[in-house]
Chains A and B, each alone.
Chain A
Amino acid sequence: MTTREAGEHLRYADLAIVRKKQKGVAVIKYVARRLVLMVGIIFVISVGAFYLIHLLPGDPATVILGGGDTPQARAALYKQLGLNRGIVIQYFVWLNHVLHGNLGTSFITDESVVSTIKSAFPIDVEMIILSQILAFAFAIPLAMRSAQKPNGRLDKTASAGSFTLLSIPPFIIIVFLVLIVAVKLKIPNTGPASYVSLGQDWVVNLESMVLPAVTLAIGSFVLYYRILRSDLISTLQEEFITLARSKGISRRRIMWRHAFRPSSVALVGTAGVNIGGLIAGGFVVQFLLQIPGLGFTLIDAINQSDYLLVQGIVLVISVSVVLINFLFDFLITIIDPRIARD
């Protein structure tokens, strides 16, 4: 090795270290930028949620208090919302309460909004986790099978089926699942109002979660299957896959170890957006089956004109959706750090 060559080697090595450092910096910069954007978004959400009260026709206090319009209740509401002051100050009074974990007390149920939300939220989380386990368990193997033989019989059937499912909204799926499973087949603990909390009886709880989880899983499955399939098909045409094949690596190992990770970026991105949407999509399922999660509570609150509760739930759901999106954005940069660099 000549001196010049050695010098070049050294330079390349240095370059590699520098690149590695830059990579770390790029990820941190990317995450920081996202974090700033997220704070901005949450600010906009808070303004929106705050302003909802002022969309009410007439005097908000009269509408919110409804039948419980006593001087004490009115004084409490004015204190909570700062209603007698200018609108900008009202926002900060409200925000100050929210940041201290105080979303007000419902004038319909006399319960604090925060405690109502705290008891409803875990139900949504359980529902979403179950549905995502189902969706991924079916979507990933099926997408791999389809991608191995694009336009084969399995691929064509699955693609046509998923396209059809794309056009069936969840509120129709759940109605027909209830019709078939609970009404016609009379399988216990699957119909409306059969929900039991996890702590009370976990077997019945899981039984009552089957239809909601399946309904939410179908929508997610279709999305994940379609995205992963098309990404896998293009990944499988790459040279490193041909190389792996020529080395005699088994088809199974190629799929899981070589093709899956580079194809999963769009999948994770879609999952992030979708899981956020599922909190909202859970509304119809909970509404039909009377499962007391956030969606059911929200619709109930709307029908009872319990505006403070509606406002609180809207705020909590919106902020959680944004947090989930942020988390998944971060996850993507772990899978493929190149994304942070551009």
Chain B
Amino acid sequence: MTNLANDFGIAEPELIDRPEKRGRLGILFWVCVAWLGINIFGAIFANVLPLPNPIANNYSAINFGPSLHHLLGTDELGRDIFSRIVYGSRISVSVGFGAMFIGFGVGAPLGMLAAYRRGLFDQIVTTLMYVFLAFPAIIAVIAVLSFWTPRSLLKIILVIGIASIPLVYRVIRAATLSMGSRDFVIAARVQGATDRRIIFRELLPNIAPVGISFLLIGIATVVTLEGALAFLGLSINPPQPSWGNMINESRTLLSQNIWIAIFPALALCLFLLSLNYIGDRLRSYFDVSEVKL
């Protein structure tokens, strides 16, 4: 009986119930999750938290170092750096999640459908996506944003989000392709399951791990791109703070006050590091073979 069951790929019940050996996520993983949580919390509740006005100049407190009164010091106009960093996280968080919302909203369904249906539809969409993938997103984004004036946060999210669609499409399509020919999908089809059922009940849960880890890495990529745009002065306009434009403003003041460069840079790097680390850990946790990003 046991042999027969094994021949058909049906394992003994206790074998199914035994949790798979995966190792643990590790303490660093949870530290990164917590840090990400703090950042998102700060971004959402920045105007409720007891913070000084991030755009109010105070000429009696210019270029102060870190102190109890100004946790991370003040900049060349006497504005509180800590408060500006918390408010600045709003830009990074909303661009990160907003752009990826667009990217996944369009790219993921298209990728799944193309990989599931194959045929002409797949060929046309994939060729189109590869055409758009062929040149670096930053050029397209800079080009569109420099002509499509005046710039606003919504436009930036929209442009970066659209630019990310081909990337998401490629990853999700590859993941679906690798799942589509597995036995359990064929079994479902043999049993007469509808396409919708196969896509949502069989394929979706299995490509979700790849999707989630790519989502995090994608957010990091998009936040970096917005940071570079802000550094070049092509993102939202000062005095509204973002991490990128704070670093931009600090570049001429490096010899006077290094704190205004260090803190926003640190905030951005830690944010990116936790996103990348969580994404990377999740990928190896779910034992997904490396999907090329």
Contact = CB atoms under 8 A, between A and B. Distances in A.
Interface of A: 37, 40-41, 44-45, 48-49, 52-53, 55-57, 163-164, 166-172, 175-176, 178-179, 183, 230, 276-277, 279-281, 283-284, 287-288, 298-299, 302-303, 307, 310-311, 314, 317-318, 321-322, 325
Given A168-B269, A175-B250, A277-B136, A183 B227 contact: no
Nearest to A295: B232
Interface in B121-144: 127, 130-132, 134-136, 138-140, 142-144
Given A55-B144, A57-B149, A175 B232 contact: no
B140 A302 contact: no
B204 interface: no
Interface in B260-283: 261, 265, 268-269, 272-273, 275-277, 280
B199 interface: no
B220 interface: yes
A176 B143 CA distance: 28
Question: Which one of A45, A169, A280, A314 has the highest number of Cβ atoms from chain B below 10 Å of its Cβ?
Answer: A169
A45 B134 CA distance: 10
A171 B233 CA distance: 12
Contacts of A179: 254, 258, 261
B220 A167 contact: yes
A314 B67 CA distance: 46
A56 B146 CA distance: 9
B216 to A, nearest CB: 12
Contact of A280 (B139, B147, B149, B276): B139
A275 B18 CA distance: 48
A57 B150 CA distance: 9
A287 B135 contact: no
Interface of B: 127, 130-132, 134-136, 138-140, 142-144, 146-150, 220, 224, 227-228, 231-234, 244, 247, 250-251, 254-255, 258, 261, 265, 268-269, 272-273, 275-277, 280, 290
Contact of A49 (B132, B143, B150, B231): B143
Taking chain A's interface residues, is the majority helix, strand, or loop, or is none over half, making it mixed?
helix
Contacts of A49: 143
B273 A167 contact: yes
23 contacts: A40-B131, A41-B131, A41-B134, A44-B132, A53-B147, A55-B144, A57-B150, A163-B280, A167-B275, A169-B224, A172-B265, A175-B254, A178-B251, A230-B290, A276-B136, A280-B138, A288-B251, A299-B234, A310-B147, A311-B143, A314-B139, A322-B134, A325-B134
